[in-house]
Amino acid sequence: MGAPPVSIDLLVAGASELATAEGIRSRGGAELGKITVLQNGALAIHGERILAVGPERELRAAYAPARLLDARGGTIVPGFVDAHTHPVFAGTREEEFELRTRGQTYLEIAQSGGGILSSVRGVRAAGHEELLGLVLLRLARFLELGTTTLEAKSGYGLSLADELKSLEVLAEAGRRQPVEIVPTFLGAHEVPPEFRGRKADYVELLVDEMLPKVAERRLAEYCDAFTEAHTFDLADTRRVFERARELGLGLRLHADQLSAQGGAELAAELGAASADHLEFVGAGGIAALARAGVVPVLCPLVPLYLRQEREAPARRLIEAGLAPALSTDFNPGSCYLQSLPEVLSWAALRYRMSAAECLTAATLNAACSLGRGHEIGTLEPGKRADVVVLDQPNHKHLVYELGRNPVRAVIVRGRVEVERGSTPSALGSQSALSSP
């Protein structure tokens, strides 16, 4: 007679498929598309941790769950990790979107006082509680769409008080809801209007006052910069980043997004965790990123949103051995979208990435870019139980289906935080799992 079943908190079963990358390090090149797919796979959870992953029949025999979460023929995947977002803003910029449809460019709008500076005016006018309420609403939407960990930047304050306000909002929001927030200081996003013509003075403020205060109060894990001809050049960025490193912050960089600036090479030289966008990266930048092991965070919907023809050379990056992450770049100006499932579909279509490559990029690789590959990003025993149940029959359907939220349930740290009723999907009449 076998051992009696072990009592656990939660069993996720009834799935058509369980799909996950494996390991604690980012995967690139030919390894990017190598995932584990278990037909009728199940997941045992106790406390905040994954206890076991395996065939449903084996886990049902081994464990006695306090609760069964029925996947109803869907697919179990790791919680999505969004490695590049700008969620702290007040007010939207649909008028700029309309201007772009009439032919104006991002730079033309920015040079006329719109763009980032438009959002700066909104954040400066808003109080802490107003911003907090807006961020909490956005985080709830991210969670509904399967995002369980989120990198979140400041960058629409551009003064000491307003940057601190933005980061304090992120800190409080992280305490008040389940999505994990990884905060990034982006004071070097744009030169604020009061420093127009005095960029060097603003860089001094960043280095001498803002960064030390942010580090002293432990409000950010990373420092980012928007390195472009109209914002901060390589010398400015280097100065900001060297100070950030001295203060113990990791580095992330908006690199070569709108023009070739050598941002990828700088990110590699300074040991940045990520180089983001990369629409204009060249062969030298790709080689430098590969040598340094920097994660390229790609935002495939931004060129569409900005009506730009140039896209990141995703396949060249992958063929060079790099391990890309995929992100929404959620922000009010260049990508007002929170759905990583939608991003994955676009990456499959535009970057020619397979469904497996997309899944790894939005889970394990994104987690590794945030220094969390040991903790999240895969479904393996010992890792934190951040899990998404899709109402789709396999992981390939995730990129195949456009325009609908496929998330049936979301688990964060072992707790079921989202559970939606049966919705029309590709599952048809597949039967639901009965209770144990």
pLDDT at 1: 53
Q: What is the pLDDT of residues 294-303, one digit of tens each?
A: 999 999 999 9
Give the model's pLDDT for residue 425.
39
Please give the full DSSP string across 26-89, using - where no structure is assigned: ---GGGGG--EEEETEEEEEETTEEEEEEEHHHHHHHEEEEEEEE-TT-EEEEPEEE--B----
Question: What confidence score (pLDDT) does residue 104 get?
Answer: 84
The architecture CATH gives domain 6-78+378-419: Roll (2.30)
Where in the chain are the domains?
6-78+378-419, 81-338
Nearest CA among 77, 155, 79 for reference residue 330: 155
What are the residue ranges in the chain where pLDDT is below 50?
422-436
- Burial class of residue 144, CB neighbours in 10 A (0-12, 13-18, 19+): middle
Collapsed DSSP state (helix, strand, coil) of residue 314: helix
CATH class of 81-338: alpha beta
What pLDDT, on a 0 to 100 scale, did the predictor assign at position 385? Answer: 99
Report the pLDDT value the prediction gives residue 143, as an integer from 0 to 100: 99
| pLDDT in the model for residue 281 | 98
- pLDDT at position 105 is 85
Q: Do domains 6-78+378-419 and 81-338 have the same CATH topology?
A: no
